[in-house]
Amino acid sequence: MNETERVDPQLENFIHNETQKQRFQVLVHCLTDTCWDSCMGWPSNRLDSKTEVCITNCVERFLDATTFITRRLMNTTKYRSESPLEFE
């Protein structure tokens, strides 16, 4: 890639930020669908206490799992960068 084909750093940063926002929105949508399907029976005007507790627990477990997976991936990536694989 020569100098005339380089991407504007501001544009690249903007695209990165928008991509992150989109990923977050997809994650929230997935969480909402999962917890709705798991906890909701028939919708009504108000949430009963059982449904409210279920949704709270669902969200908390989802966040716990996401945090665990993120940390595991970060540790794996760190480990791989510190000791790269050698091929013969």
With tokens 């949508």, the residue in question is 29
pLDDT in tens, 51-72: 999 999 998 998 898 888 888 8
Q: Count structural domains, the chain.
A: 1
Two tokens at 26?
A: 């997809």
On whether residue 88 sits in a domain, the answer given is no
- Per the domain annotation, does 71 fall within a domain? yes
Tens of pLDDT, residues 2-58: 555 677 888 988 998 899 889 888 888 888 898 888 898 887 888 889 999 999 999
Please tell me the distance from the alpha carbon of residue 61 to that of residue 55, in angstroms, as a whole number. 10
Q: Establish if 24 belongs to a structural domain.
A: yes
Q: Is residue 74 part of a domain?
A: yes
What CATH number did the domain enclosing 42 receive?
1.10.287.810
Whether residue 42 is contained in a domain is answered as yes
Q: Domain limits at 63?
A: 9-79
